[in-house]
Structure 1
C-alpha cells in the first residue's frame, strides 16, 4: 500500500464540491420556474379571465406583463372607452384589406392605384390611439352585427366615400349585390349581402335638410330650408336600423337660408338684400333639425320600437396647398408627424358643432329609454394628419402621361380607396361592437 497524499485529497474534494454547486444552480432555477415560491400572491401568477378576453378581442398585440395593476384597477381600465380622437399614425406593412382591382364599387375618381398614382407608401399606415389599440377591421364581425338590418349612409360625397370604403372591406368575405340605383347619377343606391340578409344604402343629401342645389343652368347659390328634414331620405327613415351622417363641405358654398317660410339670411350672397350670417349657425340648425327628426319619428312610431343607432361622422378636412388646378395642390406623400399640424380654425369649429349637437341629441333621446342611440365618429384630427391620402391629380387617369400640364384638376377633399378613410370604418365597427355588448332591452 502506498502513502496517501493529503494535498491531492484536499484538491479532489474542492473540485467535487465545486462541481456539486454548478450542478445545483440550474436545478434550483428549474425548480423555481415550475414550482413558484408559495408565499407569492396568486394575482402575480394568474391573469383574470376578463383581461385575457379584452386583449384577444381588442388587439393582436400581446399584453404587457410589466407593472400589472391590481385586479380592481384592471376592470376600471377596461371599462374606460377608447379615445380615438387623440393618437398618431404609425407604420403598418400589412397594407389594406383590398385593392383598386378587387373591389368593384370604388368611384373612379377615388381609385388612385388604377389611375396611375406612382407612390404606394400612403397605404402602409395605421391609426394608433394614445391609450388603446384600434383593431384591424373584421368584415365577418361587421356583417354579423348588421344581419337582417339596414344601414344607411346619408349626406354628401364624404358619406358616399365612407360607404364605398365599407363595401370594399366587406366584399373581401361576402359579395354585395346592387339591388337599386336611382339612374345615371347613382346618388341613391342600395346593396344587399345575401349571406346575412343585410342591406347597405347611400342617400345623397348634402344639407340633410330640404334644399335646392345650385346648378350651371340656375342660380349660383344653394337654397336651404333649415326647419325641414330632406324627405328624399327622411321618408324611408322607418326602414333604417343604422344611420351614418356626414356633412359639412357643401355648407361652405354661397347659399340663402329659409326658416318658417321666411328668409333667415345668407352666406356670401352679394347682390341680394339679405343679412350675411355665415354658415356655422346654419350647419348647427340643419344638424339639429336632422337629429330631432330622427328622434321624434323613430321614438314615437311603432317601427321605432326596434330602435335606431345613429352615427355622425365629424368633418373631414381638405388639404389644398395651392390652386386646385395646379399639379402640386396636395403634394405630400406622408402623414404629418404628431404636433406638426394642429386642429384649428374652420375644421375645429365644425367638429365642435357636430359633437355638441350629438351630445344634445343624446339628452333628448334619453326619454325613449335606449331606443335611440347616438355617437360621434370623431375622425377630424386623424384625417387632418393625412394630407397624403387624397387622389390629388389622380382623380383622373394618368394625368401626366403626356408630361406635366399647366392646368390639372386636383381632388384634395375625398380619399383614395383603399386609403386612410378605411380607418373611419374601423372605428365605426368598434362603436357598433360596444353597442352590441350592451344591447337594448328588446334585443
Structure 2
C-alpha cells in the first residue's frame, strides 16, 4: 500500500478554487466596465476650471457678469456638425409654445388665432425635427446674450413682420421690450429696445426691397418697381444695423410695372397697358440682387461688417375660395412625402437661394460679411394647419355659418409654425458664435 501524500487532496481543492476565481473574475470584468461607462467617476472641480479656452463658450451681456457655458470635447464636436435644417418632419410635442397668444401684446390682431376663438389648438403642439441633427428649443436668454449691444432689423413684407412679432413674443419670457418708435400706416415701421441687454429690434416695411410705389385706391391699380435702386427707407439706416433678415415674395404676384435704368423693363399682368409682359421671376431675382449688393458694398466699404439672412418663400395653403369657410381647413401637418415643394413655390425658393449664393461669392472681397439663407420653404409647406384661416377676424362663426368669410391662408398664427424660423435663426447664430470664439 503506497503512502498517500497529504498535499494531494489539497492540490485538487486548490486547483478548483483557482478555476472558480477565474470564472468569477471574467464574469465581473464586463460588469465593472459597463458600470464605469455608464457612471464615470466625477472629475475634481479644478479639472473643469482648467479646460482650455477653446472648450468654453463665454457669453457677455451689458448688464451682468459673463455667463460661462462649458462643453466636453465630444459634445463640442457633435455641436459643430453641419445641419441641414431643411430636411425633416414635424413631430408631436407636448411642451407646446413658449408664449400664449392672449398675453403677448405685440401680435398683429389678424394673427392672434387663440384670442380670436380658434377652437382647435392641436396646431400648437408640433416641433420641427431635422433628419440628421437636433434642433434645440428656443432659449430667450441665449438669444439676448448673443445679441447684446446689437441692432437686428427685419426688412420686407408682412412675412418679415410676422417673424418679427414671433421673436418678440418668444423673448418676452426673459426680458421686456419697450416700443420706442412707430410710424406709417398699420405701424409698418417700428422699433423696440431691450434695456436689459441694450438690444434694438426693428421692422421696416419694404415688400420689394427695392424702391417701389404701391398700388392704391386713388392712384394706379398696379405696383411700380425700380429694380436697380434699393429702398432707402431701410437702406439709409444700414450703418446702424448689425444683423438684417430679409423676406419678400408674395407681393411680386400682384400686377406691376417694372423700371430699370430710367426705362420701362416690362410688366406683370397689365393687359390694359402697352408694355411687354415679362412675369415676375426675373424681377424678383433682380430685386434680391440689388438689395444684397447694396448691403455688401455699404457695410463692406466701412468695415463694420453685418450678418445677412434671406428667408426663403413661404407657401400659402388655399384649398378653396378665399371667401369660403374651408379655404385652409387642415388641422394637422402633412407627413413626410405627402406634399412636395414644386411649381411656383419651388421656383420662388430657388430664386432666393441662387441670389444668396452669388452674393456670398461677391462678398468675399469684403471683410466681416456673413451671408446665410434661412430656408423655411419645405417646413412651412408641411404646415397647412398653421394659418389663421377665418380666424383672422374675431369669432367669425359666432352668429352661425356665414356665406362669405375672409380667410388668411398665407400668414401664420402666433404662436405657430413661424416660431420655428426664429428657432433655426438662433441655432445658426449660436453655432457661428462658437466657431468665431474658437478661432480667436
Over 3 Å counting, the alpha-carbon distance change for 1:118 and 1:294 in structure 2 is same
Tell me which residue corresponds to 1:104: 105
Tell me which residue corresponds to 1:200: 201
User: How far did 1:431 drift?
Assistant: 1.1
Name the CA distance, whole Å, in 2 between partners of 1:200 and 1:74: 32
User: How far did 1:32 drift?
Assistant: 3.7
Q: Does 1:384 align with 2:389?
A: no
Greater CA drift, 395-404 or 174-183: 174-183
Matched residue of 1:409: which SS? coil
Name the CA distance, whole Å, in 2 between partners of 1:399 and 1:74: 50
Q: Conserved in 1, the CA contact under 8 Å of 2:124 and 2:415?
A: yes
Tell me which residue corresponds to 1:157: 158
User: How far did 1:80 drift?
Assistant: 3.5
Matched residue of 1:178: which SS? strand
* C-alpha RMSD over aligned residues: 3.1
Gaps of 5+ in 2: 1-15, 42-47, 56-72
User: How far did 1:37 drift?
Assistant: 12
Name the CA distance, whole Å, in 1 between partners of 2:428 and 2:33: 43
Name the CA distance, whole Å, in 1 between partners of 2:171 and 2:219: 40
Over 3 Å counting, the alpha-carbon distance change for 1:366 and 1:184 in structure 2 is same
Q: Does 1:256 align with 2:257?
A: yes
Matched residue of 2:436: which SS? coil
User: How far did 1:218 drift?
Assistant: 1.4
Over 3 Å counting, the alpha-carbon distance change for 1:323 and 1:433 in structure 2 is same
* Per-residue Cα deviation, 1:158-210 (whole angstroms, up to 9, x for no partner): 00000000000000100110000015520000000000000000000000000
User: How far did 1:101 drift?
Assistant: 1.8
Name the CA distance, whole Å, in 2 between partners of 1:112 and 1:350: 27
Which of the numbers 325, 343, 346 marks the counterpart of 2:344? 346
User: How far did 1:102 drift?
Assistant: 2.1
Tell me which residue corresponds to 2:433: 436
Over 3 Å counting, the alpha-carbon distance change for 1:273 and 1:36 in structure 2 is closer
Tell me which residue corresponds to 2:288: 287
Which of the numbers 385, 388, 395 marks the counterpart of 1:398? 395
Tell me which residue corresponds to 1:67: none
Over 3 Å counting, the alpha-carbon distance change for 1:112 and 1:367 in structure 2 is same
Q: Does 1:324 align with 2:329?
A: no
Which of the numbers 353, 356, 367 marks the counterpart of 1:355? 353
User: How far did 1:133 drift?
Assistant: 1.0
Matched residue of 1:147: which SS? coil
Q: Does 1:225 align with 2:222?
A: no
Name the CA distance, whole Å, in 2 between partners of 1:75 and 1:147: 23
Over 3 Å counting, the alpha-carbon distance change for 1:247 and 1:233 in structure 2 is same
Tell me which residue corresponds to 2:32: 34
TM, length-normalised to structure 1: 0.84
> Between Structure 1 and Structure 2, how many residues are aligned?
397
Tell me which residue corresponds to 1:68: none
TM, length-normalised to structure 2: 0.84
User: How far did 1:306 drift?
Assistant: 2.7
Tell me which residue corresponds to 1:407: 404
Tell me which residue corresponds to 1:65: none
Name the CA distance, whole Å, in 1 between partners of 2:24 and 2:309: 60
User: How far did 1:33 drift?
Assistant: 2.4
Q: Conserved in 1, the CA contact under 8 Å of 2:79 and 2:431?
A: no
Which of the numbers 335, 338, 343 marks the counterpart of 2:333? 335
Name the CA distance, whole Å, in 2 between partners of 1:24 and 1:395: 76
Tell me which residue corresponds to 1:242: 243
User: How far did 1:35 drift?
Assistant: 5.3
Over 3 Å counting, the alpha-carbon distance change for 1:74 and 1:397 in structure 2 is closer
Tell me which residue corresponds to 1:214: 215
Greater CA drift, 383-392 or 79-88: 79-88
User: How far did 1:271 drift?
Assistant: 1.3
Tell me which residue corresponds to 1:298: 299
User: How far did 1:400 drift?
Assistant: 0.1
User: How far did 1:36 drift?
Assistant: 6.8
Matches within 5 A, 1:359-374: 359-369=357-367, 371-374=368-371
Name the CA distance, whole Å, in 2 between partners of 1:252 and 1:36: 62
Give the 4+ runs in structure 1 shifted more than 2 A. Answer: 23-38, 72-80, 438-443
* Per-residue Cα deviation, 1:325-355 (whole angstroms, up to 9, x for no partner): 0000000000011100000000000101101
Tell me which residue corresponds to 2:65: none
Name the CA distance, whole Å, in 2 between partners of 1:35 and 1:317: 53
* Per-residue Cα deviation, 1:373-403 (whole angstroms, up to 9, x for no partner): 1000000000000000000000000000001
Tell me which residue corresponds to 1:174: 175
Name the CA distance, whole Å, in 1 between partners of 2:437 and 2:209: 27
* Per-residue Cα deviation, 1:107-134 (whole angstroms, up to 9, x for no partner): 0100000000000000010001110111
Over 3 Å counting, the alpha-carbon distance change for 1:378 and 1:36 in structure 2 is closer
* Per-residue Cα deviation, 1:208-235 (whole angstroms, up to 9, x for no partner): 0000000122111000000000001110
Matched residue of 1:102: which SS? coil
Matched residue of 2:397: which SS? coil
